[in-house]
């Protein structure tokens, strides 16, 4: 059995907090916690680095991060996907200095060591005079030991001992696959990712997409009032329309559905005729059909939102999928990465519409996004107050817990996980923070808050 890690002082006793649905404010601001997250979470978990449609051709590359470490995601000459540490083996200079492009290889700007796009070192200036005995094969670029292409999504894991991606996904696969396998061609990334800095801890975004449904009516009130989204999708839910799935192999998802109807994420007929069960079973496909929206987080920092919105009350809603990476940039800052996707079979005209709607809602200038990023920095700020430290302030994550809730988990639900048919809960967020604690301490925590 693996050894448990030392528990940082600021989260000692956190298991008792978790049992009560409380969270130490320090986890959103503490520098020591943050440094441990980089080592115990980002260097150990499966982290999203990009989509295959961003690098369709041999030599195509993009630069990405795992934790704060810089990597180049590249398709090499053999078509193999590589996640190379962006650091020269000579003395560490960054070998790639642009965000995207196509290259047969990289020549280091410092002393000129030259690498193939597979990472092999193939040339060293003045080798005969100065490096006669250097064995080039020993000096390839470092690479992530595990890289997987899962339905077009490329994840990497820096931990040699890591479990497979499928095992990491676990039961969550049932919900995860619905987002990416609805059409035969899969989902296609539209345009380049948008990135922007927010003065909030990365966990703010990650926990939000686990199912913080109850903020919508408050934080996004003005968008609802403007009529940009139908209230069925965002306002007060009717009985039985909300689903919160938590404790699903450490991951969580929230779904808004309309039983008996087929809103199909607001995809129009010209798109839905390309959607079929394929690798999904009929229950998964039927859930997609009934869904107005689905949003979730694959621990730690990869989120998705599958939704239909519009950029104007006069125009029909258009379905799209947004992918998020909550990129850590210090305890009090993150960089949000955002991709918009649509089914590959959709027309170019529809893809343009989906992209426009995606940008108008969830992007740096998006109607929804601007609301969220106005609120999140406040949490990080109060977490970092001296007052919070001296008084050991705890935040409240109790919504929908045990006695607090009038809803009991569904006994006859077709999918995995613990499922409540209400949006009035923070169970998904509790799942996220339980997984976080387990990863930070390398222990298993038994908490059952839903009997």
The residues of the shown chain that bind ligand FES, judged by CB under 6 A, are: 88, 90-93, 108, 110-113
Largest CA distance in the chain: 78
Please identify, using beta-carbon distances, which residue of 107 and 162 lies nearer to ligand FES.
107
Nearest residue to Fe ion, scored by beta-carbon proximity: 372
Q: Give ∠ CA 447-324-26 in degrees, rounded to 5.
A: 45
Question: Residue 110 touches which of Fe ion, ligand FES, none (CB < 5 to 8 A by kind)?
Answer: ligand FES
Closest distance to ligand FES from the beta carbon of 293 (Å): 48
Nearer to ligand FES, 108 or 234 (CB): 108
Q: Single out the residue of 301, 304, 303 nearest to residue 291, CA to CA.
A: 304
Which H or E run contains 225? helix 221-225
Closer residue to ligand FES, CB minimum distance, 124 or 181: 124
Least distance in Å: CB of 158 to ligand FES?
A: 22
Using the rule CB under 5 A, give the single segment among 317-325, 349-357, 367-375, 382-390 that binds Fe ion.
Answer: 367-375
State the nearest-atom distance from the C-beta of 94 to ligand FES, in Å.
9
155/362 with CB nearer Fe ion: 362
Pick between residue 372 and residue 426 the one whose CB is nearest to Fe ion. 372
Nearer to ligand FES, 111 or 392 (CB): 111
93 is in the binding site of which of Fe ion, ligand FES, none (Cβ under 5 to 8 A by kind)?
ligand FES
* Nearest residue (CB) to Fe ion, 244 versus 439: 244
Q: At closest approach, how far in Å is the CB of 273 from ligand FES?
A: 53
CB of 117 to ligand FES, least distance (A): 16
Q: Are 86 and 71 in contact (CB under 8 A)?
A: yes
C-alpha–C-alpha distance, residues 209 and 229, integer Å: 18
Cis bond upstream, residue 250 (ω within 30)? no
Backbone angles phi, psi at 341, to 5 degrees: -130, 155
- Look at residue 112 and give the partner it binds from Fe ion, ligand FES, none, a contact being a CB closer than 5 to 8 Å depending on partner kind: ligand FES
Residue 154: exposure state from Cβ atoms within 10 A (0-12, 13-18, ≥19): buried
185 is in the binding site of which of ligand FES, Fe ion, none (Cβ under 5 to 8 A by kind)? none
Q: Which of residues 114-153 bind Fe ion (CB under 5 A)?
A: none
Q: In this complex, which beta carbon is closest to ligand FES, that of residue 92 or of residue 402?
A: 92
* Residues constituting the chain: 451
The residues that bridge with 102 in the sheet, in sequence order, are 60
- Give the shortest CB-128-to-ligand FES separation in angstroms: 16
- The phi and psi torsions of 129 (rounded to 5 degrees) equal -80, -40
Out of ligand FES, Fe ion, none, what residue 85 binds, judged by CB under 5 to 8 A for its kind, is none
DSSP string covering 320-370: EEEEEEEEE-STT-EEEEEEEEEETTS-HHHHHHHHHHHHHHSSTT-HHHH
Choose the one of ligand FES, Fe ion, none that binds residue 334, judging by a C-beta under 5 to 8 angstroms depending on kind.
none
CA distance 413 to 416: 8
Q: Give dist(CA 320, CA 359) in Å, integer.
A: 10
The verdict on 372 binding Fe ion (CB under 5 A) reads yes
Q: Where are the beta strands (DSSP E) in 199-250?
A: 242-248
Interaction between residue 17 and Fe ion (CB under 5 A): no
- Strand, coil or helix: 375: helix
The Cα 68–Cα 38 span in angstroms is 7
Residue 91 near which of Fe ion, ligand FES, none (CB within 5-8 Å, type-dependent):
ligand FES
387 binds, among ligand FES, Fe ion, none (CB under 5 to 8 A by kind): none
**Residue environment code for 380-409, b if the CB has 16+ CB neighbours within 10 A, otherwise e:** beebbeeebbeeebbbebbbbbeeebebeb
Interface residue list for Fe ion (CB under 5 A): 372
């Amino acid at each position: 059995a693996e050894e448990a890690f030392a528990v940082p002082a600021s989260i000692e006793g956190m298991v008792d907090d978790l049992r009560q649905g409380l969270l130490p404010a320090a986890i959103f601001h503490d520098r020591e916690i943050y440094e441990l997250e980089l080592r115990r979470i980002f260097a150990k978990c499966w982290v999203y680095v990009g989509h295959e449609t961003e690098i369709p051709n041999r030599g195509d590359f993009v630069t990405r991060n795992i934790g704060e470490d810089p990597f180049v995601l590249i398709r090499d000459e053999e078509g193999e996907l590589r996640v190379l540490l962006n650091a020269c083996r000579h003395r560490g200079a960054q070998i790639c200095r642009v965000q995207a492009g196509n290259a047969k290889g990289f020549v280091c700007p410092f002393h000129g060591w030259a690498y193939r796009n597979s990472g092999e070192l193939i040339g060293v200036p003045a080798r005969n005079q100065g490096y006669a005995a250097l064995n080039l094969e020993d000096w390839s670029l470092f690479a992530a030991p595990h890289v997987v292409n899962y339905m077009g999504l490329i994840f990497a894991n820096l931990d040699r001992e890591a479990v497979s991606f499928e095992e990491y996904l676990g039961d969550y696969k049932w919900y995860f696959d619905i987002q990416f396998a609805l059409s035969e061609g899969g989902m296609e990334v539209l345009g380049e990712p948008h990135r922007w800095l927010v003065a909030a801890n990365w966990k703010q975004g990650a926990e939000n997409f686990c199912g913080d449904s109850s903020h919508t009516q408050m934080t996004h009130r003005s968008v609802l009032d403007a009529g940009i989204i139908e209230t069925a999708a965002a306002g007060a839910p009717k009985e039985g329309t909300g689903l919160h799935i938590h404790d699903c192999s450490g991951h969580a998802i929230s779904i808004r559905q309309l039983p008996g109807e087929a809103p199909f994420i607001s995809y129009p007929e010209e798109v839905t005729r390309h959607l079929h069960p394929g690798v999904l079973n009929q229950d998964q496909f039927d859930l997609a059909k009934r869904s107005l929206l689905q949003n979730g987080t694959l621990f730690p920092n990869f989120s998705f939102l599958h939704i239909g919105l519009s950029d104007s009350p006069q125009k029909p809603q258009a379905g799209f999928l947004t992918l998020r990476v909550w990129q850590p940039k210090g305890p009090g800052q993150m960089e949000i990465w955002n991709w918009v996707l649509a089914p590959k079979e959709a027309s170019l005209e529809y893809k343009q519409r989906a992209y426009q709607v995606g940008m108008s809602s969830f992007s740096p200038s998006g109607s929804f996004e601007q609301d969220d990023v106005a609120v999140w920095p406040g949490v990080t700020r109060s977490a970092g107050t001296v007052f919070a430290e001296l008084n050991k302030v705890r935040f409240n994550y109790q919504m929908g817990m045990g006695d607090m809730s009038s809803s009991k988990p569904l006994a006859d639900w077709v999918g995995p996980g613990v499922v409540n048919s209400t949006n009035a809960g923070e169970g998904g967020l509790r799942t996220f923070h339980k997984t976080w604690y387990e990863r930070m301490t390398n222990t298993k925590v038994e908490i059952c808050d839903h009997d």
